[in-house]
Amino acid sequence: MYNRKLQIEINTIKDENVSIYSQLDNLLRQYNSKVKERLSFYVSQTEYGKDSLSVEQWAKSLEHELQNTPKIKTPPYKVSKIGYGMTFDLGCGFLTGPIANSFTSKFIFAYGFDFEYNPYILYLRGMIGVSEGKSDIIRNDILWKNGSNTVQTLIDLALGYSVYNKSRIKIAPFIGYGIMEFANKNTNDDTKGHTLLDSNFSLGVNIDYSLTQSVNLVDYSWLNTKEKSGWIIRGRFTAMPFDYGDNLNGWSFNFTIGIGLFGNTVSL
C-alpha cells in the first residue's frame, strides 16, 4: 500500500528548483518512517499477531485502503514530435550499368544519425564497402589493376517521411543528396591513392522494428530531458546514380541491416 502511495507522490513531483534526487531521498525517508510507525502500531494492537480478532480488523482496514489507493506504475505522459537516434549496420551492395563490368559487389559497414520532427526525419549516413577490380582500368594515365582492392564510400544527407508507424514497425522512404567515392592505391606508391568522386541524389527506404521500449521520467542529466527510448532493428535500402565519365557510370544499390537506439522526448 505504501509502495502505491509513494509512487503517486513521485509521479506528482513538480518542484524544479530542488534536485530530483533530493526530493526522492526525502520521500523515501518519510515513507520509511511511516511504514515503521504503522508496523509498530500493528504489533501493539494485535499483540504480535496473536489477537486474531484484531488481525482480522487490520486485514479489512488494509483491504479498504488498497481499494482506494490506485496502483499506478507511471503517470500520464505525452510523447513529443522530437526524436533522435543512431544505428550501426552491415550489409552488401552491388553496381549496375557499365561500371559493373569494372568492380565486384561489396561488403558494407554503415553508421548513421537520425534527427526527427515527426513525421519528418533527417538522416545523416555513411557507408564504407570493399570490392575488387574486375578488369584493368586506365584513368587519367593511372592504372587501376584487375583484382586490386577498391574502397567505395557513400555519404548522404536525406529527408525521410514516416508513412507507417504502428505495432512496433516504422516505414520511412527518403530522398537526399550524397557523395560517392571509389578509392584505389597507387600501384607505384603505396603511400598515395587515386579516387573517383561524384555527387548526386540518393533515395531509399528505412524499415525499423522496435525491440524494446522504456520511459524515463526523471531528469537524470544536465540536459534535463525526459524521454521514451529503446533498441531498434533497422533494414535499409539505398540507391544512388553516379557518372565518372569514360564509361564509368551506373547505380549503386545497397542493402543493410543493423541495430540502433532511438528516443523521443516526453512531457508530463
CATH code of the domain in which 181 resides: 2.40.160.20
Residue 252 lies in a domain: yes
Higher pLDDT, 251 or 17: 251
Residue 141 lies in a domain: yes
Residue 22 lies in a domain: yes
* pLDDT tier at 223, thresholds 50, 70, 90: low
Residue range of the domain that includes 35: 2-67
Residue 222 confidence (pLDDT) above 70: no
- The span from the CA of 97 to the CA of 36, in Å, is 78
In total, how many domains does the chain have?
2
Same structural domain for residues 50 and 122?
no
Contact present, 79 and 228 (Cβ < 8 Å): yes
Higher pLDDT, 131 or 156: 156
Same structural domain for residues 46 and 89?
no
Distances (CA, A) of 90 to 6, 23, 62, 229: 46, 45, 57, 23
Residue 72 lies in a domain: no
- The 10s digit of each residue's pLDDT in 55-75 is 888 888 888 887 887 777 667
- The span from the CA of 135 to the CA of 99, in Å, is 10
Q: In DSSP terms, which residues pair with 199 in a beta bridge?
A: 179
Same structural domain for residues 174 and 84?
yes
Mean pLDDT lowest for which of 71-85, 92-106, 172-186, 230-244? 71-85
